[in-house]
A = this chain, B = another copy of it.
Amino acid sequence: MSAYTIGLDFGTSSVRALVVRVADGAEVGTAEHAYARGENGVLLSSGDPHVARQHPHDYLEGVRVTVRAALEHASRNDTLFSNAAVVGIGVDTTGSSPMPVNEHGASLVDDPRFAGDLDAHVWLWKDHTAAREAQEITALAHRMRPQWIARYGGVYSAEWYWAKLLHCVRVAPGVAAAAADWVEIQDWIPAQLTAQPVPIARGICAAGHKAFYDPQWGFPDAEFLGALDERLVRFGEHLKSVRVAHSGESAGGLSDTWANELGLRPGIPVAMGAFDAHLGAVGAGVQPGTLVKIMGTSTCDVMVAPLGAAPNTIPGLCGVAAEAVLPGHLSLEAGQSAVGDLYAWWTDRIGAGDHAGLSTDAAGLKPGQTGLLALDWNNGNRTVLVDQELSGLLVGQSLYTRPAEVYRALVEATAFGAKVIVERLEAYGVGVERVVACGGIAEKSPLVMQIYADVLGKPVFVSKSAQTCALGSAVAAAVVAGAHPDFGTAQRAMTGLKSEAYRPNPAAVSVYEHLYALYRTLHDAFGTQTELNLGHVMKDLLRIREETRTP
């Protein structure tokens, strides 16, 4: 009998369930559910644009709706399928998206005192209310625990666990006092599905990438937390007793209640949760030497290296953590703050054209022919400069510069930004042999993919699955269920690449080497405190453009 697993992918606005055959990765059933509450699933505050919260009931309702629908879809789709053949469930979520829970692990929104209190809800990843606290944590860590902050590229983000908890303690002390624990939704959802006893177990992914956890030193100590705020200390003490596990380990068996609700066998294992991007990398076939780029509005770049084979710290990388992606491996996370968002700025905000038309025109241009060069920093720089106070730049425009030329320059800028990340990884001994792209842009834009291949000088593959996050969760579930002995075996069976890769064109590679050198000059000039001569930049761009005109 064929075995199947379910991957649950909790995104910012919706949840998706994917039923996958473990033998070959066939995606036999799927369903999506948009969260009912808030604006596109996000609870906003009219008084503060930085607030972005979520209601935890949306997740549980989403599980009920999507799992049932995906199972029905699988039944119609695959005659071999039956609900009884589902052997495990995996979970990935956004993050850091923590929420306060009581001593039983229940959300405070279920407490009538806090039901209407936004601070008692899930603090969604993109909530930016804790900017000041993040700066405070960054400064303190540099003073007291430099080895911790080094893992995060030197900057602790307002989006992360401790910044949000500290902000809550200050602005909503009643909520904080009523909370026995703060848990990431990647941990809370598996705990709910398995009726897990408290304390809720922690996925090493969120713990390592967002909460200063490392197997070597554990969670932050009382001295550090007390120096931030005495009220944080008890949360740190609580964390000492929790189990920390990777997504190849079980969070528990599916509870009778949920099994009944979903029509699944009780007791089938639910994997420990992890972030969407990290299980997405698993679903895209991440392994040492493969850089997975999840390309959408921004990119998340994920690599792995066997523990001990790479340095624990790479300057400018926003996240290096143990076993967050694959057991036995260090996970290395980088990212670009604006990719699809940058292109959409030009098309939608400036109104310079639509993606289809501009892409067609831009594809007709040779590398260097625009005479333009851009920095991809309209939303700051996440890697390797880790500086939110950077902004966009465009240089080289004439009175004849057309919208499609700028569009191409913006695409090239994001590819140059990607190359900076690759060079940084390689400089620290993490070789990038191939690139696998997934996400909306990888699916939709051959122009972008070919430019990435030409700029990186490496083949760029595209993941076969269009749902790599949910697929990665299904892979984790297959490992936890014992359907495959390990991630490598499970990935070889269940994940794959589209047969056509984007191969670098040698002529383009050579032009982009020149343009990249200019990009690095601008990058270092505007992103660091280095004195540089830029008097050659505009002239070099003209010369490169002229050279494209000679046949």
A18 to B389, CA, bound (A): 56
B352 and A350 form a contact (CB under 8 A): yes
Sort chain A's interface into a size bin. Answer: 35 or more
Query: Per-residue CB proximity of A364-398 to B under 8 Å, as 1/0?
Result: 00000001000001110000000001111111111
Q: Which residue of B lies closest to A380 (CB)?
A: B398
A379 and B394 form a contact (CB under 8 A): no
A538: CB under 8 A from chain B? yes
Q: Which of B349, B403, B533, B538 contacts A401 (CB 8 A)?
A: B349
Q: Which residue of B lies closest to A352 (CB)?
A: B350
Q: Which of B341, B397, B533 contacts A392 (CB 8 A)?
A: B397
Q: Which of B529, B534, B538 contacts A389 (CB 8 A)?
A: B538
A3: CB under 8 A from chain B? no
A385 CB to closest chain B CB (Å) equals 10
B371 and A399 form a contact (CB under 8 A): no
Contacts of A536 in B (CB 8 A): 529
A355 to B302, CA, bound (A): 46
A349 and B399 form a contact (CB under 8 A): yes
B526 and A537 form a contact (CB under 8 A): yes
A506: CB under 8 A from chain B? no
B529 and A535 form a contact (CB under 8 A): yes
Contacts of A535 in B (CB 8 A): 525-530
Task: Give the residues from 383 to 435 in chain A that come closer than 8 angstroms, CB to CB, to chain B.
Answer: 389-403, 406
A188 CB to closest chain B CB (Å) equals 31
A47 CB to closest chain B CB (Å) equals 16
Q: Which of B392, B400, B534, B538 contacts A395 (CB 8 A)?
A: B392
A136 CB to closest chain B CB (Å) equals 20
A391 and B541 form a contact (CB under 8 A): yes
Contacts of A349 in B (CB 8 A): 399-403
A5 CB to closest chain B CB (Å) equals 38
B378 and A391 form a contact (CB under 8 A): no
A350 to B534, CA, bound (A): 27
A236: CB under 8 A from chain B? no
Contacts of A392 in B (CB 8 A): 394-398, 401
B531 and A391 form a contact (CB under 8 A): no
Contacts of A534 in B (CB 8 A): 525-526, 532, 534
Q: Which of B403, B525, B526 contacts A350 (CB 8 A)?
A: B403
B389 and A539 form a contact (CB under 8 A): yes
Q: Which of B351, B389, B391, B395 contacts A353 (CB 8 A)?
A: B351
Q: Which of B345, B391, B533, B539 contacts A542 (CB 8 A)?
A: B391
A30 to B533, CA, bound (A): 54
A542 to B378, CA, bound (A): 12
A168 CB to closest chain B CB (Å) equals 26
A304: CB under 8 A from chain B? no
A534 to B391, CA, bound (A): 13
A354 CB to closest chain B CB (Å) equals 12
Contacts of A391 in B (CB 8 A): 371, 395-398, 538, 541-542
Q: Which residue of B lies closest to A524 (CB)?
A: B535
A342: CB under 8 A from chain B? yes
A201: CB under 8 A from chain B? no
Q: Which residue of B lies closest to A372 (CB)?
A: B391
Contacts of A406 in B (CB 8 A): 350
Q: Which of B352, B526, B528 contacts A352 (CB 8 A)?
A: B352
A351 to B404, CA, bound (A): 11
A150: CB under 8 A from chain B? no
B378 and A345 form a contact (CB under 8 A): no
B393 and A394 form a contact (CB under 8 A): yes
A534 to B377, CA, bound (A): 15
A198 to B371, CA, bound (A): 50
10 nearest interchain CB pairs? A392-B397, A529-B535, A531-B531, A393-B395, A525-B534, A391-B538, A391-B396, A394-B394, A531-B533, A378-B399
Residues of A near any B CB (own CB < 8 A):
338, 341-342, 345, 349-353, 371, 377-379, 389-403, 406, 525-539, 541-542
Sample (18) of A-B pairs whose CB atoms are under 8 Å apart: A341-B399, A350-B350, A350-B352, A350-B401, A350-B403, A379-B398, A389-B538, A390-B538, A391-B397, A391-B538, A392-B395, A393-B393, A393-B394, A393-B395, A393-B397, A394-B394, A394-B397, A532-B534
